[in-house]
Each structure stands twice: as C-alpha cells, then as structure tokens.
Copies of this chain bind each other. A is one copy, B any other.
C-alpha cells in the first residue's frame, strides 16, 4: 500500500462520510459503519433502547426526515437539508407557527464566529432547537411569523456500534476506539473514524504479537454500553488509544493517561521521539472523550489520544467550520503514520531472557564480532556495524527476563525497531529466549 493509495482512500472516505447526519443512535451511524466495513470488516452490534448501562440507559433511537424554519412565503431560512448542524441533535418532533420572540429562545449562534453554525445536542432533555450562524440570525425579520417543522422520530430502537477483535500471542490486549456520533464535523470526529478503519485494515493483515480490540462507538453512552456488556474483557485491557481529531492543520500531540507514565504514555512518547517530532503533551483531564469512561475508577484503563488539532484547542471546534477545508487527508495520513509506529512499538516491546547471564557471551565464535579488536571506534566499517555490536551488548546486558525492550530503548536511545530485530537474531543465535 503506497502513501498515494492511502491518501486516496482517506480522501474518498472523508468525502463519502462527511454529509451523513450521525448522532448517538440512528440510521446515520448504521450507514457510516456500512461504508467503513467496505474498507475493513468488523461486526455491527445493536443494543436495544432501554438497556441499562451502569448509571445510564440506552436512549430511544433518533432519526430525522426533515427539519426547517421557513418564513411566511415558505422560504426555508434554516434548513437541515442544507447542513445537518442546523438541527439540535435529538430534537423532538414539532410543527407550528411562531413569532420571532417565540422562536428566539430555540435558536443558538456563535457571536464570536459569525459565519459558523454551532453544534448542539440535547440527548437526555427532550426539547428541540435550531443552530444557525450569527449572520443568518441577524438577517431574520423580527416581525415575521415563522413556520417550524421538526420531522424527527424518537422511539425505541437501538444503539449501533462497530467492533472487531484481532487476536495475538502475548496474552496482552489493547483497545483502540473512536466515536461515530458527530454529524458533519470533519476533524471531530469523522477523521477519527477514518483513521481507525485504516489502522484496522493494516493490522488485520498482520501476524500480531498482542491482541487488539477495535471499537467505533457513540461517545459516552456507547463507551458505557460496551463496558457494561463487556466488563470481563475490559479488565483484560493493558492500555488504549482513543482516536479523535487527527486531521487538523495544527499541532500534533498527545493527551496523557491519568498515570502520565504508563506503558501507553511511554510508547507514545518514544514514538514521537523516534519520529523526530516535537510533541505537544496535553495533561490528563477528566474532561475529554471516552477515556472518561475507560479510565474511570472501576476500570482504570490508561488511554492516550494522539491528535492533530486536539478537540477544545482549535477555534472551529464544534462548528460548521470544522469541515473538509479544515481537516484534510494529508494531515490524517501524517497522524496515521504515528499510530502505525506506536502500534509497531507496542508489538516490538517484548521481554527476553539471556541464556548467557554470567559475563558476556563470546560473540566471535558466533560470527557476531568483528575479527580485529581494539579499533571499533575508528573503524571505517563505522556507525552501522558498531551500532549493531552495541545493540547486542545492551540487549545481552539488560535481558534478565524482566526488562522489556521499551525500557532498553529508553535507557540506551536505540530505536525499538532495531532492538527488536537484533533480539530476533540473538534468539536465532541461541543467546536470548522470548519470555513475554
């Protein structure tokens, strides 16, 4: 798969998925998951409305046929068909004629971003409302009578999510999640859905060391629902990536886990260092995405989010300006490569035990040592070979059966990939055994 091909796939998926009206339930989610399954297969799970999820309950399913505010001439002034952000998500059905003063409390704008339509939801409080740009709002006639139609359904149905499990050999499992509940917002979080799907496509084709569970779920209620139905599986998880806002033009960085120096933080930090990227580290925050559920006291799964233009941090966040002019395929691919590298580093992070713990092994008799001693530093054979000899020495020095390669990479500065490759040579040469 070349970079060009990946870029093409990302771009096609972004354009195909962007217009769909998604929410925490409903056909928009189903349609989106169907499109993504064409790229990388996963199961689609339906959980009926009313199912308890710890302190929560799966809500009624919400679907939209149409919604608008029209003037007395029948002209649609605020039109869901133009932009699904115009309708407050989970608006209940309504039909009526209202004066401006009656309509006014149902309208939401962003005075500071007068061209942008805000994104609002009201999942658990039955109401209806419309979002519009400040400019649109200012142009509304204060003396007009407005026809309002909210042609939605809010009825028992189900919550829909995608899941797949890729088994590995190590006995350790990592969780990779994203959320699929936002309507036409590109960076938050169409970008996350697309990135996760391409990551899944790549890993499905591999022989894996660890197991990975991929989830595409509605934020909060989806995470809670999955946890409630999979408590045992959740307890097996050694760490997680919560993928969101990965394709903006701005800073690349990551949000730390609550622990700050958990395995997953160290893997992410090393990945950035190896990529030569200066990283913006966002401290853990009890606000955020589904790490709020996965890291809660009952589960305490350490989560990282590698992101490019992190949610909360960019001015277009949760507005109609978070569109495909803002979030783009090339930025997404840049972030995707970091996730590839992070997963690689998780995969490389194995632990070995030396068969030769007492003193150094004699490398010469195994063909692992240059024939003439005393001149390694000056040798024109140079950095490459010298480095490999150093890597061998460090691996033999630290491999006591308790020191993972990640520790050795951090202590020595050797790339984790090189340590992994040299360790495999040393296993083949009978000097190391893989213990975990």
- Indicate which residue in B118, B224, B357 contacts A374 across the interface (CB closer than 8 Å): B118
- In the assembled complex, A203 has its CB within 8 A of some CB on chain B: no
- In the assembled complex, A365 has its CB within 8 A of some CB on chain B: yes
- In the assembled complex, A297 has its CB within 8 A of some CB on chain B: yes
In contact, A375 and B118 (Cβ under 8 angstroms): yes
- Chain B nearest CB from A150 CB (Å) reads 16
A118 to B292, CA, bound (A): 63
In the complex where A122-B372, A371-B125, A373-B121 touch, is A358 in contact with B296 (Cβ < 8 A)?
Answer: yes
In contact, B293 and A360 (Cβ under 8 angstroms): yes
List chain B residues, Cβ under 8 A from A357: 296-298
A239 to B220, CA, bound (A): 43
- In the assembled complex, A120 has its CB within 8 A of some CB on chain B: yes
A119 to B373, CA, bound (A): 9
In contact, B374 and A120 (Cβ under 8 angstroms): yes
Complex interface bits, A374-401 against B, C-beta within 8 A gives 1, otherwise 0: 1101100000000000100110111110
Overall SS of chain A's interface: loop
In the complex where A360-B220, A375-B120 touch, is A390 in contact with B318 (Cβ < 8 A)?
Answer: no
A127 to B298, CA, bound (A): 67
In contact, B393 and A362 (Cβ under 8 angstroms): no
B-contacting residues, A179-233, CB 8 Å:
220, 223-224, 227-228, 231
Looking across the interface, which residue of chain B has its beta carbon closest to that of A125? B371
In contact, B124 and A287 (Cβ under 8 angstroms): no
Binding site for B on A (CB under 8 A): 53-56, 88-89, 108, 110, 112, 118-125, 127, 129, 220, 223-224, 227-228, 231, 258, 286-287, 292-293, 295-299, 312, 317-318, 354, 356-362, 364-365, 371-375, 377-378, 390, 393-394, 396-400, 412
28 contacts between A and B (CB under 8 A): A53-B359, A54-B359, A55-B359, A108-B372, A108-B375, A118-B374, A120-B375, A122-B372, A122-B373, A124-B362, A125-B364, A129-B372, A220-B360, A223-B359, A231-B358, A286-B390, A286-B393, A287-B390, A292-B360, A292-B397, A293-B360, A295-B397, A296-B396, A298-B357, A299-B358, A299-B359, A317-B377, A318-B375
